[in-house]
Amino acid sequence: MSRMSSIQAPVAEELKSFQGHFKAAMRTDVMLLDRITRYIIKRKGKQMRPLFVFLTARAVAEGSEPLGERSHVAASLIELLHTATLVHDDVVDESPLRRGFFSIQALWKKKVAVLVGDYLLSRGLLMAVDREAYDLLKITSEAVRQMSEGELLQIEKARRLDITEEVYFDIIQRKTASLIAACCACGAASVGRDEETVERMRRFGELVGLAFQIKDDLLDLGEGERIGKPTGGDIRERKMTLPLIHTLQMADASQRRRIIRLVKYRNQESAAVQEVMDAILKGPGMDYSRRKMTELTAEALALLEPFSASPAKAALQDLVEFTIQRKR
C-alpha cells in the first residue's frame, strides 16, 4: 500500500462516495459546460482538500459512526470553491497548464474560463444554502475573501519588491493557508463540534497551509520534481518567496541591489533567473525556510494532542508530514 493510500484508508469510503457528490454538484444541462466540468473531474489531483475535511471530521468526532451528509457537503463545497479559484487563477496568470494538463483557459479561452469559474462558485454557494449549511458557508466565504485579498496584496507588493518576511506570511496566510484552514474548520463543524474545537482545527489547517506554501517555494527552486511547472517560475513572476526574502535580508547592500534589479527588470532572461537562483541556493535562505517550515509543522501537530488516538488522527498527522516531504 502506498503512503497516500495508507493516509486515505480511514476515510476511504467517504472519499469514494465523494466522487458521486462532487459530480452531482457540477451537473448541468448546458452541453459546453457539461463537457468542461467532465474534463475538470477527469484531471482532478489527489483531492487533498476533501481528504483534510474528512480526516479532520473523523479525528475530532465523538464516536465511530459513518460521517453524515454535512461532511460531504463541506468537502464538496470546499472542492467547488477551490476549483473555481484555480480556473480563475489560470486566467489571471495566463497559465497554459494545470497539473500537467491544459488549463481551461488554454482549451476554451479566457471568457469561457471566467464563466466556468463563476458557475462553480455559484454551485458551491447554492449547495450550502439549499442544505441550510450556513456555518459551513460562512467558513468557506471567509476563505475566498482572504484568498482574493492575498492575491491582490501580492500583486501590489510585487510591483515594488518590498516584501518583508512579515508581509510574506500575511500574503500566504490569506492566499494559501486560508483554504486549508477552512477545510479543517469545516470538517470539525460538520460533525457538530463546539466553537473552540472548530477554531483549534482552523488554526491547525492554517499552520499546515503556511508550511505547505514554504515547501512550494523550495520546490520551485529545484528541491524535488515539478510537473508542468519549471523551476524558477516564482522569480519569473516576481514573487518574493521566503528563501529569496531571507537571502536579500542577509546579503550586503551591493548584492541586494543586484538581485533586486535582476528580479525586477530581467526576470524573463534565463541567465538572470539562474543567477538569482544560484544566489539563493548558495546562501542561507533554503535552510532558514526549511527550519521555519519544520517549526510550523510542529506547532500544527501539537494542536492535535488533545484528541483521542485513532486511525484518522494518525492519518491526519501523517498527511501533515506528507505535505512537507512531497517531491512535487
The model carries a pTM of 0.91
**What topology does CATH give the domain 3-216+300-325?**
Farnesyl Diphosphate Synthase (1.10.600)
> What DSSP line would sit under 224-252, residue for residue?
S--SSS-TTHHHHTT---HHHHHHHHHS-
Dist CA 36 CA 101 (whole Å) = 13
For the chain, strand residue ranges (E) read 97-98, 101-102
Handedness of CA 111, 115, 121, 125 (dihedral sign): positive
Q: How many CA atoms lie within 13 A of 181 on its CB side?
A: 24
pLDDT score, position 227: 47
Interval 19-30: pLDDT, tens: 888 888 888 989
| Count of Cβ atoms closer than 10 Å to residue 311 Cβ | 14
Residue pLDDT, tens place only, 208-262: 999 999 999 999 888 655 444 557 888 998 888 999 999 999 999 999 999 999 9
DSSP 65: P
For the chain, domain boundaries: 3-216+300-325
Please give the radius of gyration of the chain, using alpha carbons only, rounded to the nearest integer.
20
Dihedral angle sign, alpha carbons of residues 76, 150, 215, 309: negative
* Nearest-angstrom CA–CA distance, 195 and 286: 37
Cα end-to-end distance, the chain, whole Å:
20
